[in-house]
């Protein structure tokens, strides 16, 4: 009998606390989508940490929720050293992918 292969998707790193703050404020993803003008899909991806909003959108969310910006992101002091190192590696890879290469013409 052949074994079935299941690929386990790795969980995205938890970088923001949008879902937690929305729950604390008794607000829904739908409410946030309506207020920000983003789709419910985008807000859902932010809430589940599959994607991250940029700093301007985080600031907008903080303003809408009347919360400090720091409430929307995890505290660096709350993560252990292994996770910290993993996040640094991941973010460096992302930064490398977005750097422009000098000398290339469009």
Q: 18-98 falls under which CATH superfamily?
A: lambda repressor-like DNA-binding domains (1.10.260.40)
The residue among 12 and 82 whose pLDDT is bigger is 82
Checking if the pLDDT of 5 tops 80, the result is no
- 78 band by pLDDT with thresholds 50, 70 and 90: confident
Counting beta carbons within 10 angstroms of the beta carbon of residue 99, is it exposed (0 to 12), middle (13 to 18) or buried (19 or more)? exposed
Q: What is the pTM of this model?
A: 0.75
Where do the domains of the chain lie? 18-98
**Residue carrying structure tokens 């079935």:** 4
The residue among 46 and 1 whose pLDDT is bigger is 46
pLDDT in tens, 16-61: 999 999 999 999 999 999 999 999 999 999 999 999 999 999 999 9
């Amino acid at each position: 009998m052949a074994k079935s292969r299941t690929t386990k998707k790795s969980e995205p790193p938890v970088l923001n606390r949008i879902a937690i703050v929305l729950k604390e404020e008794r607000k829904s993803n739908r409410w946030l989508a309506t207020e920000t003008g983003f789709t419910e899909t985008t807000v859902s991806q932010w809430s589940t940490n599959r994607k991250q909003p940029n700093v301007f959108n985080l600031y907008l969310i903080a303003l809408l929720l009347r919360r400090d910006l720091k409430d929307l992101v995890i505290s660096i002091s709350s993560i252990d050293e292994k996770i910290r190192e993993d996040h640094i590696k991941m973010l460096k890879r992302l930064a490398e992918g977005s750097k422009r290469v000098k000398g290339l013409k469009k």
